[in-house]
Structure 1
Amino acid sequence: MSEDFYEVLGVSQNASEDEIKQAYRKKAQEYHPDVSDDPDAEEKFKKIQQAKKVLTDEEKRQAYDQMGHERFEQAQKQGGFDGGAGGRRGAGGGPFGGGGGAGGPFGDMGDIFEQFFGGGGGGRGGPRQGPDLRTTMEVDLEDAYHGAEKELTITRPESCPDCDGSGHPPGSDSETCPECNGRGQVTKVQQTPMGRVQQTTACRNCRGEGTLYEETCSTCRGDGQVRNETTLSVEIPAGIEDGQTLRMEREGAPGEEGGPNGDLLIEVSVAEHPEFEREGNDLYYRQAVSFPQAVFGDTVAVPTMDGEVELEIPEGTQSGEVFRLEGKGMPRLRRRGQGDLFVRAQVVTPESLNEEQREALEAFAEAGGEEIEVDQGFFEKIKNSF
C-alpha cells in the first residue's frame, strides 16, 4: 500500500471531506484486523486511520499538501502536530516552539507554519478568521428522507460583550509595548531547511496590539471571549446519509482583530429505523407472507416512506424472494431521482393450527405436498441473504 495518504484511501487530492470519510469506512471494513485475511491487515489498517486523521483535519491537510508526505511525516515525528488544530506546542514547548533552535532540523518550523497558515503563537497581527467548531446531530430516517429544519443547541465562544473582545475595559490606562515599540509586530531572521527566511509575526507580548493595558476585563479575564449557549436552526437536506457533515458558515468561534467567525461543522448521524434498512440511496424491507399467500399469490400493502403501496405476490413465491419497487427509496442528495425499495418476502410458518387447518394440511401432505425440490440457486440465495 502506498505511503501517500490520498492513495492509501483511494481518493483524489480534490476529494471533499465527505468523500474521504466514505473512502475511509470502505477501506476500514476491508482491512480491519478482525475480519481481513490480509497478512498485513493490521499495518494497513493503522495507515488508513492515520490518513483519515490527517485529511479530515483542515489545518493538517493544508500542511500535508504544502509539505508533501515525507516532510510532513518528519515534522510529525518531531511533535509538530500534537493535538491538531490549535494544539501546536508554544514557545519553548518543543520542536515547533518559537524560541531557540532546539529540537533538531525542524526546531524553527513553528513560525513558518504561523506565516503560511496563521496558526498558534497567541499573536493577533491583523484580522483573522476564527477557528471552525465541530459537533454532532442525530436525525431519524424520516427527516433524512423528506428534509427538515431542526434546532441545535451548542455552547460556543463568543466575543465578550463587556469589552467588545478587546480583553480590557474601555478607558483602561495603557503604555506602548516595549517588545515591538508599538508596532505590534516583530521581525525574525531564521535559518531553516528551506533556506534563510525573514519573517514578520505578531508581537506575543502585546498580542499584536502594540499597547499594553493595566487592567483586564473582569468578565472574560482578558481573553476577549466568553462561552454562551445558543440555539441554531439547521436545514437537513433530503437524502443526507449517516456520517455526512453539514457546514454552517460563520457560526463557529469568533475571529480576531475584527476577522470573521469560523464555521460550524455538524456531523449528522441517521438513527436506525424499526422497519427499513438503508444502503446508500436504497431501502430494504421484510414483508411477512402467509403460506397460502405464497402458494396462491395475493396483493399485499407494503409501507414506504410516502405511505403504503400495493405489491403483487405471485403464485409460488419462495421465502427470501426479493421484489423491487423502483423509485421508492431515498432521495439522491442534491440530485434528481430516488433509489429503490427492495422488498424481501418472508414466508411465515404458522406456530399453531386449529383442527380444520391441520386436517387440510394433512390432506395436502397425503396428496404429495411433502415432496420438495430445491432449485440449484437456493443455497446461493441463502448466502446472499446474510
Structure 2
Amino acid sequence: MADKNYYEVLGVAPDADQGTIKKAYRKLVRKYHPDVSKDPDAVNKTAEINLAYETLKDAEKRAEYDEMLANPFGRQTQGGAQDFGGFGRSGFGNDGYSRYEFRSGGDFGDGEPFGQGDFNFEDLFSAFGRQQHSGSRRTQGSGPVKGEDQHAELSIDIYAAYTGAERTLTLNVPGVDEYGRVSYQEKTLNVKIPQGIAEGQQIRLAGQGLAGYNGGANGDLYLKIRFHERPELYVQNKKDVYQTLDVMPWQAVLGGKIIVPTAGGRLQVNLPANSQHGKSIRLKGKGIPAREPGDLYLNLRIAVPKAESEADRAAWEALAAHYAER
C-alpha cells in the first residue's frame, strides 16, 4: 500500500464525496484492525489507512494533498529540499501512526459481552497524524500546549441505558517523545455508563486524550454513545424503545393481562382483545429512563405454534371447522 496515493489506499476516486470516503475508511479499518485481522502487515496497513483518511476528510488538508499530487516535485525550500506540505510519498513512515487498542471484560448485566465491536476507532486511529504534525513544529521556546481531545463511539446494549453499567478498558496509547520517536503506553480506564443515557450523548474521560507537550495538559477522550441495533429491540428518537412481542393466536384474540420481559424488567401488560399482527402497544414512560423518559412500544407479532402431535392437529382442525361454519 505504501506506493499508492491516499485515494488508492482507501479505494475511492479522486472526486469522491465525504460520505464515500468515510464509508470506505470504516470498511477498511474493520478489515485490517490488528486486534481482528490475521493479515501479518495489519498494523502498517491500518496506519496508512488512518493517515489517508485523516488527510482526505479535512477539506483544507485534502486541497493541499491534491495540489501535491498535481505537482509531485513539490515546492523548493531555501535549503533546496522538497516540501510537500507535510505529506511526503510515504506519509510519516511505519512508526508514525496511531493505534489505540481496547480490551475489556465483563458484560452489561444482560449476558451481552462488552468486547472488540463496542468501539468505533475512526477518530482515535486518525488522531496521531495530527499529533505528529504538531510535534514536528515544537520549539524550545514555545509555551505549554494542551494535547488534542479525541472522540470515539461507544456502542452499548440498550439494557445498559436502563440499569447503568461500569466497565474497565485497557488501551495501548501512542505517544511521541521530544525526538519524534513513537512509543506506546498501556492505560487502564474505568468507564461509567450512567443510567438513562441517551443515544448521541457523550461520556468525557478527562486527561485521556493525546498527550500535551512543553508541560501542557493532556487532552480529553469523548465517547459518543450509540445503541446496538437489533430487529427485535431498537431505539428511535434517542429515548423511545421498540420491542417485538410474540403472542399466541388465542392470546391475541382473547386479550387479557400478560407478563412481558423488557429491558427495564418484567411488566404486566393489558393485551387488547382481537389484537392484530403488526399493531403496537404504547407504554408511556417505559422507554429509556432519562429525566424525561421515553416510551416503550411493543410491536405485536403473532406466533403460530406447530402441530407436533395428533392432538395438536385435531385442535387446529376443530378451529378451522368452527370458522368455516360461520
Please tell me the TM-score bracket, short chain as reference. 0.5 to 0.7
Aligned partners of 1:79 and 1:94 also within 8 Å: no
Q: Residue 249 of structure 1: CA displacement? A: 2.5
Aligned partners of 1:147 and 1:238 also within 8 Å: yes
Name the residue aligned to 2:285. Answer: 327
Aligned partners of 1:141 and 1:273 also within 8 Å: no
Write the distance in 2 (CA, Å) between the matches of 1:127 and 1:360.
81
Change (3 A) 1:223 1:338: same
Aligned partners of 2:150 and 2:220 also within 8 Å: yes
Pick one of 4, 9, 17 that aligns with 1:46: 17
What letter corresponds to residue 250 of structure 2 in structure 1? P
Aligned partners of 1:157 and 1:254 also within 8 Å: no
What letter corresponds to residue 292 of structure 1 in structure 2? W
Write the distance in 1 (CA, Å) between the matches of 2:287 and 2:251.
25
Aligned partners of 1:138 and 1:271 also within 8 Å: yes
1:344 aligns with 2:299: yes
Name the residue aligned to 1:177. Answer: none
Name the residue aligned to 1:230. Answer: 187
Write the distance in 2 (CA, Å) between the matches of 1:45 and 1:351.
52
Write the distance in 1 (CA, Å) between the matches of 2:153 and 2:248.
43
Q: Deviations over 1:79-137 (max 9, x none)?
A: 59xxxxxxxxx99553426xxxxxxxxxxxxxxxx9xx967434352211123345564
Q: Deviations over 1:328-354 (max 9, x none)?
A: 11134xxx2111111122222231165
Write the distance in 2 (CA, Å) between the matches of 1:73 and 1:355.
71
1:94 aligns with 2:83: yes
Q: Residue 256 of structure 1: CA displacement? A: 1.5
Q: Deviations over 1:161-213 (max 9, x none)?
A: xxxx7x5xxxxxxxxxxxxxxxxxxxxxxxxxxxxxxxxxxxxxxxxxxxxxx
Pick one of 122, 133, 137 that aligns with 1:121: 137
Q: Deviations over 1:211-238 (max 9, x none)?
A: xxxxxxxxxxx55885321111122233
Change (3 A) 1:234 1:339: same
Aligned partners of 2:228 and 2:234 also within 8 Å: no
Change (3 A) 1:268 1:313: closer
What letter corresponds to residue 144 of structure 1 in structure 2? A
Q: TM-score, length-normalised on structure 2?
A: 0.55
1:246 aligns with 2:212: no
Write the distance in 2 (CA, Å) between the matches of 1:293 and 1:238.
34
Change (3 A) 1:314 1:51: closer
Name the residue aligned to 1:149. Answer: 166
Where does structure 2 lack aligned partners over 5 or more consecutive residues? 1-12, 25-53, 70-76, 87-129
Change (3 A) 1:43 1:284: farther
Change (3 A) 1:149 1:362: closer
Q: Residue 143 of structure 1: CA displacement? A: 1.8
Q: Deviations over 1:134-154 (max 9, x none)?
A: 556453322233332321211
Pick one of 276, 279, 294 that aligns with 2:252: 294
3-state DSSP class of the match of 1:292? Answer: helix
Write the distance in 2 (CA, Å) between the matches of 1:331 and 1:274.
21
C-alpha RMSD over aligned residues: 4.4
Change (3 A) 1:119 1:79: farther
1:277 aligns with 2:234: yes
Write the distance in 2 (CA, Å) between the matches of 1:260 and 1:329.
40
Write the distance in 1 (CA, Å) between the matches of 2:167 and 2:260.
29
What letter corresponds to residue 284 of structure 1 in structure 2? Y
Name the residue aligned to 2:268. Answer: 310
Q: TM-score, length-normalised on structure 1?
A: 0.47
Write the distance in 2 (CA, Å) between the matches of 1:363 and 1:250.
71
What letter corresponds to residue 78 of structure 1 in structure 2? E
Name the residue aligned to 1:39. Answer: none
1:365 aligns with 2:320: yes
Write the distance in 2 (CA, Å) between the matches of 1:297 and 1:51.
49
What letter corresponds to residue 139 of structure 1 in structure 2? I
Q: Calculate percent identity across the aligned residue pairs.
A: 31
Write the distance in 2 (CA, Å) between the matches of 1:365 and 1:136.
53
Write the distance in 1 (CA, Å) between the matches of 2:244 and 2:168.
33
1:130 aligns with 2:147: yes
